Amino acid sequence: MNTSDALTFLLPKELNGSEGAVFMDIGISAGFPSPADDFRETRISLDEELIRNKEATFFARVSGQSMIGAGLDDNDLLVIDRSIPPTNNKIAVCFLDGEFTVKRLRVEGSEVWLQPENPDYPIIKITEENNFIIWGIVTNVIKKV
């Protein structure tokens, strides 16, 4: 049984003076339509919205199904910040025994487990025998619809 998902890493791209995409500041309603007169148009940079620390931020594309219960699906793009301290219940990208994986951290005292969010995958207990590094914390997920 596969215990890890493959990740493809990407770096943020320099935008070279890009003003960002158009942002409609209307609060899109999921109920009744809002009158068209109630919005104003501004520009928004997704870098400014999604990246807190550019030097420590990477993107990775998920390949696998181990985190579907957390909303991380195959081919989603993860925003990963290496400057955030790893703590219990955070979703982390980890290097485990030669492979990268994304899992939820479970920390109790000095014990660490990597918990998938899919019952078809086992919980991984980290031991001294493992080559293990918490590489970064997932801060956002970008999906195609």
User: Alpha-carbon distance 137 to 145, whole Å?
Assistant: 24
What pLDDT was estimated at residue 50? Answer: 83
63 has catalytic annotation:
no
pLDDT band with cut points at 50, 70 and 90 for residue 1: very low
Q: Which of 13, 54, 103, 143 is catalytic?
A: 103
**The total number of structural domains that make up the chain:** 1
Over residues 100-140, the pLDDT tens digits come to 999 999 999 999 999 999 999 999 999 999 999 999 999 99
Mean pLDDT to the nearest integer, 11-38: 54
Is residue 39 a part of any domain in this protein? no
Is residue 7 a part of any domain in this protein? no
Find the domain containing 58 and state its range: 52-142
What pLDDT was estimated at residue 89? Answer: 97
User: Alpha-carbon distance 5 to 74, whole Å?
Assistant: 9
45 has catalytic annotation:
no
pLDDT band with cut points at 50, 70 and 90 for residue 23: very low
The reply to whether the predicted model has a pTM over 0.85 is no
Higher per-residue pLDDT: 120 or 10: 120
Is residue 78 a part of any domain in this protein? yes
pLDDT band with cut points at 50, 70 and 90 for residue 54: confident
Mean pLDDT of the chain: 82
From the list 29, 25, 53, 50, the residue with the least C-alpha distance to 40 is 25
Q: Which of 4, 13, 45, 66 is catalytic?
A: 66
Percent of the chain with pLDDT over 70: 72
Cα 125 to the chain's mean position, in Å?
A: 22
CB atoms within 10 A of CB 66: 23
Q: Tell me, what CATH number does 123's domain have?
A: 2.10.109.10
Is residue 26 a part of any domain in this protein? no
